[in-house]
Structure 1
Amino acid sequence: MPKLSTPKQKISALIITYNEMGYIEKCIDSVSFADEILVVDSYSTDGTYEYLLEHPKVRVIQNPFENFTAQKSFTLKQAKNDWVLFLDADEVVTEKLQKEITSTINNPEACEAYWFYRKFMFQNKPLNFSGWQTDKNHRLFRKSKVCFTDKKLVHETLEVDGKSCILKEKLTHYCYKNYEDYKGKMLKYGQLKAKEDFYKEKHFNYVLMTVKPIWKFFNHYVLRLGFLDGKKGITICYLNALGVLERFRELKRLEKKNELAYYLVMP
């Protein structure tokens, strides 16, 4: 009898967005090989939602943004297929990576989840150092075997029921469009990290607010060779350190707000 061929595995490409024009177009084009492209938009105001709504290959849903973990957990639940490729709107899948993804999910011995190393781009030019050279993230996984931990609001972490492996090809990450855009991202991340700290009952500390941003810059610029990236390295390392500073500023604001609320309800 002829040997029955294994059915081709289907895959859903998932993306969350908020004001991503200038990024999202490349991202969508790079996942056109997926059987489903699902985007969850948190009420963009720059035309992102309208662009996605008109795209023939995209299914778009709007959902209010609470934090990254909550938004990604919501998005994951909407996927139609078990295999999921979860991207940020500023990430692009190269042709070589597309082929590796396709062959991987159709391998009977595939792992439950895969890490991707990323190639960082600074205004279309490679950023080779500045702390990012060992950066990797879970991006490809089986929906039925994972969940996002609720312990983090930003830099969300995947919990995998099974084995994680690493793909060879890198994911291209257009991390830096312009100064104000990247600065806004770092400040937002810092504020969400402060909320994490606040919920964990960590307290504001002036010493840490001084030391940690300095250490962040020194670590990424000197120890992680950011100086080899030239002016790009200075900019990225400074803004990353600014995000750490914002984390402590926001934690201080949250503590003061909490104290004020406490005194207002006291008899």
Structure 2
Amino acid sequence: MKIFANTIVNNEENFIWFSIMSVVDFVDKVMVWDSGSTDKTVEIINEIKKIKGNKIEFKEVGTVDKYQFTQMRQKMLDESKCDWILILDGDEIWWEDSIKKIIKTINERSAEIDGIVVPMKVPVGDIYHFQEEAAGQYQILNRKGHYSLRVINKKIPGLHVDWPYGKESFLDKKNRLIQKREKIIFIDAPYLHVTHLQRSSFKRKYDKFKYELGKRVSKDFKFPESLYLEYPSIIPSPFGKISGLSKIKSQLLTPLRKIKRRLL
């Protein structure tokens, strides 16, 4: 089975290296399209290209609005000449064991499944603190929490993308959400989703940074392997700790966020 990662980025300099490096050796190609980054994202992707060569297909598309983003996602889907796509955002970093489980499942069960849902670990405050599961609002396969459809069979009839950024979704020919099809399975193969951390030193158009402090991980916790690899000096350490006013603000807001979640 041929598997392509589909990656659209915009100002992702802090984590894009670790994201791509976490999957590039396990998929056939990583398609990376930049939508007008003004930070070092493009420079970093070009550094990855020097190492991984033709496994990286890079294109600078330019700035897009939330409707053009969906059109770009559709065009990327159309140009993905493969059997399966892995949706890989610039804030998603995979453990090797998890991505290997995904590849193994695809190779063994491709004919009988349409997509794969997986859990995610969501740091908040800094990489050492994980958001509570109650904060996860995704409802898939009778589960609610930090879950996401990340792998899709390209042979689904009428597979397409619709709705503007923030709500954009993959649908079939009946305009049914792919995650609502019968042949969607869950695999316990988590990835690290750093969406609520600082992803760039530059302003991001659709930023999801949160002032919140989650539960601290244990001292022997193992992060995705790509975070321990050598990386270019232009990339800040992913292991920075929250401090100063940011920590104080997060400590003050965290209880309020938890109360709000339980009331809604």
Q: Considering the TM-score relative to the shorter chain, is it more than 0.5? A: yes
Q: Quick one: distance in 2 between partners of 1:176 and 1:29?
A: 20
Q: Is contact 1:70–1:153 with CA below 8 Å preserved after alignment? A: no
More helix by share: 1
Q: Quick one: distance in 2 between partners of 1:131 and 1:63?
A: 34
Q: Is contact 1:36–1:58 with CA below 8 Å preserved after alignment? A: yes
Q: Is contact 1:91–1:174 with CA below 8 Å preserved after alignment? A: yes
Deviation at 1:130, TM superposition (A): 5.2
Question: Given the alignment, which residue of 197, 207, 217 partners 1:177?
Answer: 197
Any unmatched runs of 5+ in structure 2?
A: 137-143, 172-177, 217-249
- Listed one character per residue, the Cα deviations across residues 224-259 of structure 1 (whole Å, up to 9, x for unaligned) are xx9975946935976xx9xxxxxxxxxxxxxxxxxx
Q: How many positions carry a matched residue from both structures?
A: 197
Deviation at 1:50, TM superposition (A): 2.6
Give the 3-state SS of the residue equivalent to 2:14 in structure 1.
coil
Compute the RMSD of aligned alpha carbons: 3.5
Deviation at 1:152, TM superposition (A): 4.1
Q: Quick one: distance in 2 between partners of 1:46 and 1:186?
A: 15
Change (3 A) 1:118 1:131: same
Q: Is contact 2:116–2:184 with CA below 8 Å preserved after alignment? A: yes
Q: Quick one: distance in 2 between partners of 1:135 and 1:114?
A: 14
- Listed one character per residue, the Cα deviations across residues 47-76 of structure 1 (whole Å, up to 9, x for unaligned) are 212322341231101223232433322221
The aligned runs of 1:196-211 (5 Å cut-off) are none
Q: Is contact 1:129–1:228 with CA below 8 Å preserved after alignment? A: no
Structure 2 residue aligned with 1:155:
167
Change (3 A) 1:17 1:228: closer
Query: Please, which moves more after superposition, 77-86 or 139-148?
Result: 139-148
Q: Quick one: distance in 2 between partners of 1:181 and 1:89?
A: 15
Larger gyration radius, structure 1 or structure 2:
1
Deviation at 1:27, TM superposition (A): 0.4
Q: Quick one: distance in 1 between partners of 2:170 and 2:195?
A: 21
Greater RCO structure (CA 8 Å; 6+ sep): 2
Change (3 A) 1:114 1:237: farther
Any unmatched runs of 5+ in structure 1?
A: 1-8, 190-225, 242-267
Give the TM-score normalised by structure 1. Answer: 0.62
Deviation at 1:127, TM superposition (A): 1.7
Deviation at 1:93, TM superposition (A): 1.2
Identity %: 26
Question: Given the alignment, which residue of 89, 112, 115 partners 2:114?
Answer: 112
